Amino acid sequence: MNERPGTGSPEIAEAAMGEKPKFSLVWVVPIVAAIIGAWLVYKAITEEGPTITIVFETGDGLTAGKTKIKYRSVEVGAVEDIELSKDLKNVVVTAKMSPGARDYLRDGTRFWVVRARVTAGEVQGLGTLLSGAYIGIAPRTEGSKKRDFVGLEKAPVIGADQEGRQFKFTSRELGSLAIGAPIYFRQFTVGRILDFRLGLDGTITGEMFINAPYDQLVKENTQFWNASGVEASLTAEGFHIDTESLTTLLIGGIAFDTPKSLTASDEVNEDFEFIIYPNRLATLQREYKLQQHFVLIFNESIRGLKPGSPVELYGLKIGEVVDISFEADYETMEFHVPVLVQIEPERIVGNKALPQKGGGGVALAKSGWRAQLATGNVLTGGKVINLVLVPDAEPAAIGEWENYPTFPTIPSSLRTLASDVGRIVDKIEDIPFDQIGDNLSETLASINRIVSDPELTVAIASLRKMADQLGEDVAPALSAVLAKAEQTLDSARSQIASDSVTSSELRRLLVELGDTAQAIRTIVEYLERHPESLIKGKEE
């Protein structure tokens, strides 16, 4: 050990000073590990698809960890969990979707369970008999993103990318309506029935879809009818049978056509509502949406009138009888029959919006139109109600009966005829035939006395003597005239004598005329009570 000079003490070594390293290789390993971990997390997040929930009414055919979600037979997700909702009314399905489906999970995306089922005209999901049920998806590319969905209980009839238009319909009977049933145009399938339901009023409403470009064939006056049956009719041209095809007899369906008409065929927008008729023949009797009701009050027999009897104008049906009542006033002992009728203004071209609450009836009544009973069928005795124009009729007021406007009526033509004939018979009965006969007898007796008067004979002799004194040219002619006159007087004397045949026949003719008038009145009164006797004859 060296000593430091002059001190006698040993020499101390000094440490060398240098710069401290800025980064240690020790940190490289954890940093690299962190980066790799972050990349793995990012990769796991970006490559993992979104988790969604789908609510179904039942979980029939669904299995957690097994059931797939498919689009066009390509797997785009899988069911991870199935559980009941809190209210125990539904099944909540949790599913993991593929990353590529992220942009298609939007408002409007539809899910449904695909099972093996037979629908109208085709078999769906036959492959699920071996592979099991799966969830189908109809993705949407527009709309807000969504993760919670409500599944459909029935598979959609048409695809989301199917071009065409959807229309509404109403029907009184179900007929061959079925979800997925075909829609025909001249035996070609051009659409499907999407859905239908029964309303509380008994009307069946639903939706149908017509594929493009055949949706352009649908106009405002297009008529749809049930095409599942066979139509048979017997007309003057012979026996006629009509059906769409053998397929429609088996699976049903509806058909449509646009008939030629006096009015133009207007274009219709989507969701326009049509009526489904029971058959093609029924399309000839159109149904109308606008209806107005009136009460007609009759004070005569309405035998043969019943609900469904037509109301006619110029021989064309514009409505029908809805209900018939009977009302009596026991204080005055007056009876009358209120008849409720339904008028369809759309049957008259140009009157699609007549005023409500009888506004149109006010104009008709002021113009002199009246309702009148008439015989519609002589064989059956069925009655109809005619609207007739009465010339110079006083304006009638529109009243109200049970919240319905009333329309004025006039007696039937048969009742009017009976009244007229009755008045004629009354006038004939007022003729004093006995007095006329007595006066005629007295007149004939007076004429007989005058002819038998000797003075008249003397006068004729004087005239003859005067004629003899005339010239030879005038005398023969005058003599002949006087001879004729005498012969005529003799003939008249014999004809008008009180015991002559002419006098007796004249009296008998007057008596028979009175009996005939009475018989006519009896017949008219009987026909008014029994109009059917014109065909059936008088009852024994």
From first CA to last CA, the distance across the chain in angstroms is 170
pLDDT given for residue 237 in this prediction: 47
Exposed (0-12), middle (13-18) or buried (19+): which is 130, by Cβ within 10 Å?
exposed
Do 317 and 257 share a domain, yes or no?
A: no
**pLDDT-wise least confident of 62-66, 79-83, 158-162, 340-344:** 158-162
Specify the DSSP class assigned to residue 459: H
Q: What is the mean pLDDT of residues 49-72?
A: 89
User: What is the DSSP secondary-structure string of 187-251?
Assistant: TEEEEEEEEEEE-TTS-EEEEEEEETTGGGG-BTT-EEEE-SS-EEEEETTEEEEE-S-HHHHHH
Is residue 33 in some structural domain? no
Q: Write the pLDDT tens digit of every residue in 189-238.
A: 899 988 889 988 888 999 999 998 999 999 988 889 888 655 555 544 45
Q: What is the mean pLDDT of residues 475-490?
A: 66
Q: How many structural domains comprise the chain?
A: 4
Specify the DSSP class assigned to residue 79: E
Question: Is residue 279's pLDDT more than 90?
Answer: no
Q: Write the pLDDT tens digit of every residue in 351-372.
A: 444 444 445 667 777 778 888 8
Specify the DSSP class assigned to residue 325: -
Is residue 446 in some structural domain? yes
At 451, the pLDDT band (50, 70, 90 cuts) reads low
pLDDT given for residue 460 in this prediction: 65
**pLDDT-wise least confident of 285-299, 323-337, 434-448:** 434-448
| CA–CA dist 124, 434 (Å, integer) | 99
Helices and strands: H and E segment counts in the chain: 10, 29
Do 75 and 106 share a domain, yes or no?
A: yes
Q: What is the mean pLDDT of residues 263-275?
A: 80
Which of 104, 128, 150 terminates a domain? The answer is 150
| CA–CA dist 201, 198 (Å, integer) | 8
pLDDT given for residue 11 in this prediction: 58
3-class DSSP state of 204:
strand
pLDDT given for residue 39 in this prediction: 77
H/E segment holding residue 250 = helix 246-251
H/E segment holding residue 274 = strand 273-277
Highest mean pLDDT among 122-136, 198-212, 390-404, 492-506: 198-212
Is residue 508 in some structural domain? yes
Do 80 and 143 share a domain, yes or no?
A: yes
Q: What is the mean pLDDT of residues 335-362?
A: 67
Specify the DSSP class assigned to residue 469: H
| CA–CA dist 285, 385 (Å, integer) | 19
pLDDT given for residue 79 in this prediction: 92
Question: Is residue 53's pLDDT more than 90?
Answer: yes
**pLDDT-wise least confident of 56-60, 321-325, 328-332, 387-391:** 328-332
Do 366 and 404 share a domain, yes or no?
A: yes
At 55, the pLDDT band (50, 70, 90 cuts) reads very high
Do 280 and 212 share a domain, yes or no?
A: yes
| CA–CA dist 220, 9 (Å, integer) | 126
pLDDT given for residue 300 in this prediction: 84
Q: What is the mean pLDDT of residues 495-519?
A: 68
Do 393 and 490 share a domain, yes or no?
A: no
Q: Write the pLDDT tens digit of every residue in 393-447.
A: 777 767 777 788 888 888 876 555 555 555 666 666 666 666 776 677 777 677 6
Is residue 113 in some structural domain? yes
Which of 233, 258, 284 terminates a domain? The answer is 284
Do 381 and 458 share a domain, yes or no?
A: no
Average pLDDT of the chain is 75
pLDDT given for residue 246 in this prediction: 52
pLDDT given for residue 34 in this prediction: 81
Do 325 and 404 share a domain, yes or no?
A: yes
H helices of 388-473, in order, are 413-430, 433-451, 454-469
At 95, the pLDDT band (50, 70, 90 cuts) reads very high
Q: What is the mean pLDDT of residues 24-50?
A: 74
What does the block give as tokens for 418?
């009976």
pLDDT given for residue 500 in this prediction: 61
Which of 95, 116, 150 terminates a domain? The answer is 150
Highest mean pLDDT among 3-12, 242-251, 519-528: 519-528
What does the block give as tokens for 322?
């809805």
Q: Write the pLDDT tens digit of every residue in 394-405.
A: 777 677 777 888
Question: Is residue 349's pLDDT more than 50?
Answer: yes
Structural domain boundaries, residue 303? 292-411
Do 492 and 446 share a domain, yes or no?
A: yes
Do 242 and 174 share a domain, yes or no?
A: yes
At 56, the pLDDT band (50, 70, 90 cuts) reads very high
Q: What is the mean pLDDT of residues 378-387?
A: 80
Do 296 and 280 share a domain, yes or no?
A: no
Question: Is residue 126's pLDDT more than 90?
Answer: no
Question: Is residue 498's pLDDT more than 80?
Answer: no
Closest alpha carbon to 369 in 395, 333, 403: 395
Is residue 24 in some structural domain? no
At 104, the pLDDT band (50, 70, 90 cuts) reads confident
H/E segment holding residue 135 = strand 134-138
Q: What is the mean pLDDT of residues 58-80?
A: 88
Question: Is residue 24's pLDDT more than 70?
Answer: no
| CA–CA dist 497, 509 (Å, integer) | 17
At 374, the pLDDT band (50, 70, 90 cuts) reads confident
Angle at 177 between CA 171 and CA 183, to 5 degrees: 100
Question: Is residue 112's pLDDT more than 60?
Answer: yes
| CA–CA dist 371, 341 (Å, integer) | 11
CB 447 within 8 A of CB 494: no
Longest CA–CA span in the chain (Å) reads: 235
CB 32 within 8 A of CB 23: no
* Pairing label, strands 404-407, 182-185: unpaired
Q: From the CB of residue 463, how many other CB atoms can be counted at a distance below 10 Å?
A: 15
Question: Is residue 381's pLDDT more than 70?
Answer: yes
Do 339 and 276 share a domain, yes or no?
A: no
Closest alpha carbon to 71 in 30, 38, 109, 29: 109
Is residue 535 in some structural domain? no
Tokens 């939706």: give the residue: 207
